[in-house]
């Protein structure tokens, strides 16, 4: 499942550069995660990097975008093939 950033975000800027897919951007008020680009770091890391670095634990599962590990891995494969 994709992740989302809750309104507890303090705009500390640590998550955006850690996202290997470029899924995190500055929104109108807080950072946001594009669910079309979020793979929970599958294919890159063992753990979601935004979750690992967030000092206020505001990167959570996005219940509106439930995806299996297989779907996330397929999304990762598609994203890396588009980079080539």
pLDDT 10s digits, 50-71: 999 999 999 999 999 999 999 9
What is the pTM for the complete model shown? 0.93
Using CA atoms of 76, 80, 83, 84 in order, give the dihedral in degrees to the nearest 10: -160
CB of 5 closer than 8 Å to CB of 15: yes
The percent of residues in the chain predicted with pLDDT above 90, rounded, is: 95
Mean pLDDT value across residues 30-46: 97
CB of 21 closer than 8 Å to CB of 39: yes
pLDDT at 84 over 80: no
At the top level of CATH, the class of 3-83 is alpha beta
The Cα diameter of the chain in Å comes to 36
């Amino acid at each position: 499942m994709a992740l989302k950033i809750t309104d507890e975000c303090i705009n500390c800027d640590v998550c955006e550069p850690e996202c290997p897919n470029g899924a995190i951007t500055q929104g109108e008020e807080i950072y946001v995660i594009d669910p079309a680009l979020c793979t929970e770091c599958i294919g890159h890391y063992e753990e979601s990097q935004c979750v690992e670095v967030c000092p206020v634990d505001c990167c959570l599962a996005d219940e509106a975008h439930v995806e299996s590990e297989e779907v996330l891995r397929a999304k990762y494969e598609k994203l890396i093939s588009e980079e080539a």
